[in-house]
Amino acid sequence: MLRRLGQVSALLALLVVEVPALALAALALLLSFALGLVFLFPPQAQLVRSLAELNRRLMRRWTDIDIESPYLPKPPPPVPQADGMYRSNRTLYRTPRFPAWNDRWRWLLTDPATWRDSLWLVLDPAVKAGLLPLFVLLPARGLRLYALWSELLLGSTKASRLAGQVSHLRRTRNLAADSQAAEMRRIERDLHDGTQARLVAIGMTLGAVEQLVDQDPTAAKALLAKARDASSETLTELRRVIRGIHPPVLAERGLADAVRALAIDSPMRVDVEVDLAHRPEAPVEAAVYFAVSELLSNAARHGDAGHATIDISSNGTNLRVTVTDDGMGGADPAKGSGLIGIERRLAAFDGVLALNSPPGGPTTVTIDLPRVLPQHWAGNLPTMPRWKAAVLVLLWSTAWCPTFPQGFVAAVFKLAGLEEKAWFLALYLPEVWQWPTIFGMISLGVAMYVTAHRINVIHTHERWTIQTALTKPWC
């Protein structure tokens, strides 16, 4: 109780800041659009946003209502044209300063959340005054009601959530493209520095053999043997490059066996635990495989580790990978070691990499990939909504009444000319309405049965469609 009263007191004390800020914001807004002092608008909007964000944080901390940020994504930095100039509408600039300022001004002006924040700031003192009795008598209930009011004006909208998802997808796409480009450069470098150099050497050796085959057959045979060894090494190099692109064992036998193959090839002693009921999708398998491969390589080369453990498990539809080694520790993504590349590869799946590597070891890397596993074996096939299940039960439990007692049985009584009316509604009506009512009752009952059956069939079909899509055979 005392804690809630303290929170209410802090909330009311914010009026000391909000009221002057409201006056200052109104003045800045007036000067911006009435006198053309447009440079005052961005700081005015930022001031109001700061107060609104403070309110969101307090509501998250004090109540169970999480108010999401509603703002549209910030505009990207200006990009120079081919001639080095920066364009903003029809004007060219030599530096990105003015285009960036114009984009920011337009972003703040056109974002609906800017004006919703302003409306919240205008109404908030009156709302707090109206809730004052509830704040005093029932502070917990008052705080929750105030949080609902804050969510109404300060919460995210469909448009802001959609814009945020689009921005996230754009960033993810760029990271995936960068990761793919880096992978292609690595493959090109491996082929240029390794395979291509070996093939050139083999060609030069065979050229020498041509010159020596008649003059010095013994030397020619020695060079041929050297060329044969070089071709074998080249083949090994090509196989290594192919495994770096997509290892055959991963495509043929899945993630578990591919990781076990990595453990066998590793110079360390590696223990592998895999608890997956079914295979993830191929892109997810590839991302996890190369991440584990890079982590094992780092542990052996940079961490001087002698033992490592790999644990791959599922949590619902989430996939978790934990790699621990007994090396010297001190791993840092800023120092390279391939961790940045792993994060870029995982970003395509909203994956998160957590690193714990104190100096002296051990090093533990945890990878979480949310919502990448098939739903059916995670137990998350869509269930029928409660309201729909309630309608289904109601239909099945009541459809018999209009169909049989009020329909067919009443029709039998009518045809037989029985004077007993019992509880048959149609027989109490005037003669002209009796048969229409009987047919109406029968039609209503049949329609209820058909509707109940259709609801069940549609839901079953949806579950079957999802399960079929998620359990399709691997090629």
Rg (CA), the chain: 36
Strand partners for 364: 324, 356
Q: Residue 167 has what pLDDT? A: 65
Burial 272-297 (b: 16+ CB within 10 A, else e): bebeeeeebeeebbbbbbbbbbbbbe
- Looking at residue 83, what DSSP letter applies? T
Q: Which amino acid is at 424?
A: F
Question: What are φ and ψ of residue 79, in 5° steps?
Answer: -110, 130
Among 321, 300, 320, CA closest to 310: 321
DSSP string for 427-456: GGS-HHHHHHHHHHHHHHHHHHHHHHHHHH
pTM above 0.85, yes or no: no
Among 75, 69, 63, 154, CA closest to 109: 75
CA 183 to mean position of chain CA atoms: 24
Q: Residue 201 has what pLDDT? A: 80
Q: Residue 471 has what pLDDT? A: 47
- Strands 318-325 vs 363-369: parallel, antiparallel or unpaired: antiparallel
Residues 6+ apart with CB under 8 A from 23: none
Q: Which residues of the chain have pLDDT under 50?
A: 377-379, 470-475
Residues 6+ apart with CB under 8 A from 6: none
Q: Residue 176 has what pLDDT? A: 61
Q: Which residue has the tokens 């403070």?
A: 54
Q: Residue 171 has what pLDDT? A: 66
